[in-house]
Structure 1
Amino acid sequence: MVNYLELDDEIKKGKFKNSYIMFGFNEQLIKDYIKKITNKLVNNDFISLNYDVFDGSTVDFDSIYNALETVPFMSEKRVVVVYRANFLGDNSKNFNKNGEDILKRLEDYITKIPEQSIFIMYYVFDNPREKITKKIRSFEKKACIVEFSKLKGLGLQKKAKEIFESKGKSIGKAELSFFCSKVDDNIDIIINEAEKLCCYAEDRDITHDDIELLCHPKESNDIFNLVDFISQSKPEKAIEILNEIMFKGEKASVILYMIERQFRIMLNLRIGMEKGKSKEALSKELRLNIYICDKMMNQCKNFSVNKLVKAIDLCLSTEKELKSLSGEAKFKMELLIINIAILR
């Protein structure tokens, strides 16, 4: 099993495997690497003839087999992708809608794929805390397994430094270390935070104060995910994140403040969206990073203005209870999450 930074090095060297199974929480990052592989191996003028993509929830084995066995046309390779291959999840069925055990057939065939073809399928986690499944591990000796996990330590610093350099900006070791400690270890966030810092610093060096001023703390991403699960009517997932934040030692009152703040921003975004304001305008008006603004605008689609107002009212009621009534704070926070998730 390799991580995506190792895959990146292999792509740069022009070294490719016959088959890849990718997994992780960040689907966009997975798609970006599939595009990198395709761009290297398939003649763009004939992309429609040498690139096949199938929905993992409906695909059958014969469709995959026929695509992989077809000779590429005016191109070095043929690339076949199965996206959102949910049959790779431990809690999912191996069978497609026709009752075919697609997982078993792929296990038997994957080592026989012709050299002319590259097979890629990927599985997206429901949340960042999910781990590699047993079904994916069953392919370890037969395909290249690529983990799209969060970056850590020196690997994170190396990637962040490369991003700054790609934007024509150098950054000191101390500042780089501080930057990596401040931002969430998600490549999309790192790219956008680096872009923001480069634009802000312009021709001068990036300083500790710049990073302190502009970069969002990691906890904000946990709160974003918590609220996101509430918006998807998945309170059990939101409570998992709540428990993890509280286990780290964060007080219920602080978490509540951050949740309430998130809903207040979303309310302003929702009102702005209904007035026809653009992402760029709202980002500037609310002083949000353009990437964060875009994600929160998507989140807002699951909330009406009325529902957001009710969510804020529930937060205020919970705040009063935490201050004035006895009882376990954790229980009150869990009840808040459930009550917001069932709002109509």
Structure 2
Amino acid sequence: MEGLEDYVDYEDYVPDNKTDFSSSSDEPEAFTATKSFLTDTLVAIKIIICVIGLGGNGVVIWICGWKMKRTVNTAWYISLAISDFLFCACLPLEIVYMVTSHWPFGLVLCKLMSSALFLNMYSSVFLLVLISADRCIIISFPVWSQNHRKVQTASTVVVLMWVLSAILTLPALVYRQTKIHGSVTQCYTEYMSVSNHKAVALTRFICGFLIPFLLIVFCCSVLCVKLRSLTIKSTKPYKVMAALILSFFICWVPYQTFVLLEIDISKHSLEIIQIGLQVGGTLAAANSFINPVLYVFIGNDFQQTLKRSFMSRIENAMADDCRTGGLNPSKSKSMEICE
């Protein structure tokens, strides 16, 4: 290996010295034990992220898609939940890879696994920009937004957002490869040249973090100025928006920081970069299960709809039990007995 041609992202780190960047055999036992402990810890965290993320985002999709009235807000949030759900659905592949240090799933899934993280990153931050801009327009131009803020328009914007996110995710599909070392198969990123690596890293940082961050800061600044002079019935929507934005940037800042450090690897410790990307990537993945938790604890409308949905299901189940118990076929009578 020469230079950075085969340098890999956080998810390419394979334990037990099976990567191109493994440490030498005379590596201190304490350091090896620390890496092993770190890998086991991150695997456990990712399992939790996967389970809670799939369940939580599945509930959000169910509530927003079938239980709540279709609005512009539900269009934003269901898209965010779909993005997180798709990413969590790919996590089991990465967990298996981290545990076994072997990729048995083939080249296509290798490319898709890596793409899932970046598709989630782009789609999430772009949706946060849309949510921020939407709130800003509502406050700044209430009459115009009332006449032009339509669900169909929001759905069209969401589709365009997904197309843009997919285009920006293409490098993960192009540069992701598999390599066989004896009985072990690796799934790694081969940029072919240092210039390609730098171009991809800077594009991800600028398009997936810096520009969206500046747009969100601008929208939030306008919101803060406008809200001071207005009296609104509820601040819940703005609290949800603020919590989503804050959690995204807290989860992604460490990863983006190490991505920038990775560009000039000669000035930094390779081991530190590898560990930083691995830990930062896990924290970024955690954003996928934080969002539904925020909906439950902050979103009052979502809370009420979720409670009503579960209560109605319990009531229906109880009513069914009473009816099948042969007490009385009439609904009114069975409800009297259940009560």
Give the shorter-chain TM-score range.
under 0.3
- Higher helix residue share: 2
Taking CA–CA contacts closer than 8 Å with sequence separation of 6 or more, which of the two structures ends up with the larger relative contact order?
2
